[in-house]
């Protein structure tokens, strides 16, 4: 496994050196102040990640004002209390993507947000307290206690709400394979532990957040 300095140099060869890398990193600014974000925004991002999974995300984003209206601005307590009449209403709402399983997942995730906030003060406080050295543990927690929040859906949710998450995109996986961290896309617990260990090592070496390490790994592919 190369040092991160070597990996960053490789990415620079493809993308205009350190200035080119900095420009690429600046393309996706993220607010990392988790405790400032309200619980309705966490539920909104969960729903966005769930509905975007397996679907054209541009279509979902174009319809998002309709989602916000249909789901009461993603007020967790209101959505958590939805019953059959609300589900029927949503299934008839042409302003959203009318996927019954994902509608139910959003209601279940509202209950997850409410329960987590009751225990920790807010969902943001819960996320802020989770160590960034254990993303795979957090992903397991989201999958176990949330609905349809596994795998890539969890990673994109965490990234976009501001938690310091890596994403195992195709290019990132190719870089990890090149570095001998894994042999294929991670699926087993051992493979995920190896990915986490590599990111932790590179973070300690470089001082960079894991979201930047993830992006630079992708850039190092070409």
Print burial letters for 117-136: b (CB count within 10 Å at least 16), e (below 16). beeeebbbebbbeeebeebb
Asked if residue 144 and residue 176 are part of one domain, the reply reads: no
pLDDT of residue 146: 98
Contact between 104 and 111 under an 8 Å Cβ cutoff? The reply is no
Asked if residue 176 and residue 150 are part of one domain, the reply reads: no
- Does residue 132 register a pLDDT over 90? yes
Give the span between the Cα atoms of 102 and 193, in whole angstroms: 29
- Does residue 109 register a pLDDT over 90? yes
Asked if residue 95 and residue 21 are part of one domain, the reply reads: no
Count of the separate structural domains present in the chain: 2
- Residues 149-176 have a mean pLDDT of 97
CATH number for the domain harbouring residue 136: 1.10.340.30
Contact between 44 and 70 under an 8 Å Cβ cutoff? The reply is no
Asked if residue 38 and residue 27 are part of one domain, the reply reads: no
pLDDT of residue 121: 98
Asked if residue 182 and residue 151 are part of one domain, the reply reads: no
- Residues 115-130 have a mean pLDDT of 98
Asked if residue 147 and residue 55 are part of one domain, the reply reads: yes
Q: What is the pLDDT of residues 8-66, one digit of tens each?
A: 999 999 999 999 999 999 998 889 999 999 999 999 999 999 999 988 889 999 999 99
pLDDT of residue 55: 87
pLDDT of residue 116: 98
Asked if residue 38 and residue 24 are part of one domain, the reply reads: no
Describe the crossing of helices 170-178 and 210-219 by its angle, rounded to 10 degrees. Answer: 80
Please count the CA atoms within 13 angstroms of the CA of 185 that sit on its side-chain side.
7
Q: Domain boundary at 143, 161, 179, which?
A: 161
Contact between 75 and 112 under an 8 Å Cβ cutoff? The reply is no
Asked if residue 82 and residue 121 are part of one domain, the reply reads: yes
pLDDT of residue 68: 98
Report which of residues 103 and 54 the model is more confident about. Answer: 103
Q: Which structural domain, as residue segments, surrounds residue 214? A: 4-31+166-219
pLDDT of residue 210: 97
Q: Domain boundary at 161, 176, 203, which?
A: 161
Asked if residue 124 and residue 199 are part of one domain, the reply reads: no
Asked if residue 180 and residue 119 are part of one domain, the reply reads: no
Asked if residue 202 and residue 139 are part of one domain, the reply reads: no
């Amino acid at each position: 496994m190369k040092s991160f300095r070597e990996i960053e140099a490789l990415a620079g060869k493809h993308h205009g050196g350190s200035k080119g890398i900095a420009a690429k990193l600046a393309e996706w600014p993220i607010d990392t102040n988790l405790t400032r974000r309200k619980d309705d925004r966490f539920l909104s991002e969960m729903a966005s990640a769930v509905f975007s999974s397996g679907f054209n995300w541009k279509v979902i984003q174009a319809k998002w004002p309709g989602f916000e209206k249909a789901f009461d601005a993603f007020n967790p307590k209101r959505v958590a209390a939805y019953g059959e009449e609300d589900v029927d209403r949503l299934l008839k709402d042409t302003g959203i993507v009318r996927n019954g399983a994902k509608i139910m997942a959003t209601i279940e995730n509202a209950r997850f947000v409410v329960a987590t906030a009751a225990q920790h003060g807010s969902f943001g406080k819960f996320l802020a307290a989770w160590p960034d050295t254990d993303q795979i543990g957090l992903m397991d927690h989201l999958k176990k206690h949330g609905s349809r929040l596994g795998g890539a859906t969890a990673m994109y949710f965490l990234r976009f709400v501001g938690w310091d998450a890596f994403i195992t995109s195709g290019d990132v996986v190719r870089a990890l394979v090149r570095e001998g961290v894994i042999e294929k896309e991670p699926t087993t617990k051992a493979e995920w532990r190896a990915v986490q260990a590599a990111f932790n090592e590179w973070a300690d070496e470089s001082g960079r957040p894991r979201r930047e390490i993830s992006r630079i790994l992708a850039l190092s592919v070409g």
